[in-house]
Amino acid sequence: MSREALQESLSAVMDNEADEMELRRVLSASDDAELRATWSRYQIARAVMHKELLEPRLDIAAAVSAALADEDLPVQSKTVVRGPWRSVGRFAVAASVTVAVLAGVRLYNQDEVASTQLAQQAAQPAMSAPQAQSPAMLAGFSTASEQQGEAETASEATPGWHDQRLPAYLRQHAQQAAMNANESALPYARAASLESR
Amino acid sequence: MRFIPVICLLFGGWLALPVVAAEAQDWLERLADAGQSQSFQGTFVYERNGSFSTHRIWHRVDETGVVRERLMQLDGVEQEVLRVDGSTECVSGTLADQLDDQQAWSAHDLDSQRLLESYDLRIIGESRVAGRAAVVLALSPRDQHRYGVELHLDQESALPLKSLLLNDKGQLLERFQFTQLDVGTLPTDQELQSGTGCQPVTASKAAAEVVEAWRSDWLPPGFTLSRVAERRSPASNEQVASLVYFDGLARFSVFVEPLRGVMVEDARSQIGPTAAVSRRLATADGDVMVTVVGEIPLGTAERVALSMRAIEGQAIQ
């Protein structure tokens, strides 16, 4: 397969637009040092464009690997275990953190606007699931994956606590909101729509 | 690579901005002035995820400049509001709940200068709404912490004929749209007379002294505190602090309610365009529940909820 096609796929993965084929292609080539370097460059470019803080030298995977290495493993043949684990692990952890954060942010800013969108959302986390282990999700977006169902299950501890308050909070918010003196119609309609639920 | 076109787009957008911005800004200023100077009546629809309703509006400006406005929902439960010069005279049953001052639906002047810090304003074309020619303005957010608005303003009067709220993917969150509008016809006294279900609102006096007990460590750029209030909790006798933040267009409210040892879990939900996030916060005085409600993305609401802090030495009373 040509390098160009691979980079195209990598770009798609980064943009969270990869289909399953592309994702597999990138994953199967993830041992390739050049590909990993490209991935890293893309991340830096992306961070610059989004004016995000990025510390390219921050290598979480290396730190994790070092910590693992210090641990007394019950296995005798440390080197055999460490070799492949480190190279795969380094990419996997770094990639999974990035993918988890990207997927998390995307998922996070979603809402249940339309069922079609829900379908898309379901596909996105599934796509990153092989890499994005739960600890990576916990890093920044602990509850992102439970977004949809949580409102319903949230009041387990004290049933109805939120149910009692949220409608009133929503109402207060709608009443305080108004775009300007002329446009009281929109916030009024917003408030009214809450009542006829 | 796929993001090179994005760079071109970004730079292109910046270069084109100043040329059209002036004209677009004129329209915004006309909009800000439109309701103060013109009488109109009409019918509009409001649509969001899970809700569709129709309403009628009567808006009259006297020779003396007094603005009287009556709004009524035409389908389902009869809901009504009557406002005179920006203060609420009466509201119908369910809407009246929790309303304890006349400032509800209060006027906040559209500040086009301030708004431009957070939104990119452009004229994107012309359209026709409710049988009238309209100019279309786009207010695109400059970051991911707010939604975009597409405004269709009446060519003749600059009244908003249609207003769409859009998320970062361009999906429609909310639609406000006139289906019929009559500009210049004065609504009669009878039309501005509220129905029997409309309960008069009396001003509450002692809302003045509100201690600022909460602040936010992080706010989305452009948002500032526009109002602090305190009122009784809808479900207990606790006082709930409420803070309203505003960026010139979008708005969110933060409610802080003491838990007094009650075990409550965090929650989040999305009702049409409005995100609601509740987060438990530990303070020296025991845990409180911070609830952020507003027309902002859920992720932003979550971050605000996580950033609320008690101001040192001023616990909630």
Whether A19 is in a domain gets the answer: no
What residues does B216 pair with on adjacent strands?
Answer: B308
> Does residue A187 sit within a domain?
yes
- Of B172, B200, B228, which residue constitutes the final position of a domain? B200
Contacts with A170 from chain B: Cβ below 8 Å: 271, 274, 276, 293
Q: How far is B19 from chain A (nearest CA, A)?
A: 25
Asked whether residue B171 is domain-assigned, the answer is yes
Q: Which of B98, B267, B293 lies nearest to residue A150, judging by beta carbons?
A: B267
Provide the number of structural domains found in chain B: 2
Question: What residue in B sits closest to A163 (Cα-Cα)?
Answer: B235
Asked whether the beta carbons of residue A197 and residue B50 sit closer than 8 angstroms, the reply is yes
Residues B98 and B173 in one domain: yes
By residue range, what is the domain housing residue A185?
A: 157-195
Record: contact A190-B174, CB cut-off 8 A: yes
Q: What CATH number corresponds to the domain at position B132?
A: 2.50.20.10
> CA of A57, closest CA in chain B: separation in Å?
23
Tell me whether residue A175 is in a domain.
yes
Does B113 lie in the same domain as B194? yes
Confidence (pLDDT) at A152: 41
User: What parts of chain B have a pLDDT lower than 50?
Assistant: 98, 100-108, 205-206, 208, 314-317
Tell me how close the Cα of B49 comes to any Cα of chain A, in angstroms. 6
Decide if B208 is inside a domain: no
List of residues 6+ apart from A53 with CB closer than 8 A:
A47
A43 CB contacts (<8 Å, ≥6 apart)?
A14, A54, A56, A98
Parent domain of B232? 214-310
Q: Domain count of chain A?
A: 1
* Same domain flag for B185 and B226: no
pLDDT tens across the length of chain A (197 residues): 577 888 888 888 888 888 888 888 888 887 777 888 888 888 888 777 777 666 655 566 667 777 777 776 555 544 444 555 555 556 666 666 666 555 555 555 544 444 444 444 433 333 333 333 333 333 333 333 333 333 444 444 666 788 888 888 887 787 766 434 446 788 888 888 877 65
CATH number at residue B244: 3.30.200.100
What pLDDT is recorded for position B115?
85
Residue B191 and residue B221 in one domain: no
Cα B134 from Cα A188, distance rounded (Å): 23
* Chain B: residue whose CA lies nearest to A10: B1
| Of B159, B178, B200, the domain-final residue | B200
Q: At what angle do helices A78-108 and A60-70 cross, to 10 degrees?
A: 140
- The alpha helices in chain A, defined as continuous H runs, are 3-14, 20-28, 33-49, 60-70, 78-108, 115-128, 134-140, 147-153, 161-176, 185-195
Inside any domain, residue B207: no
Tell me whether residue A59 is in a domain: no
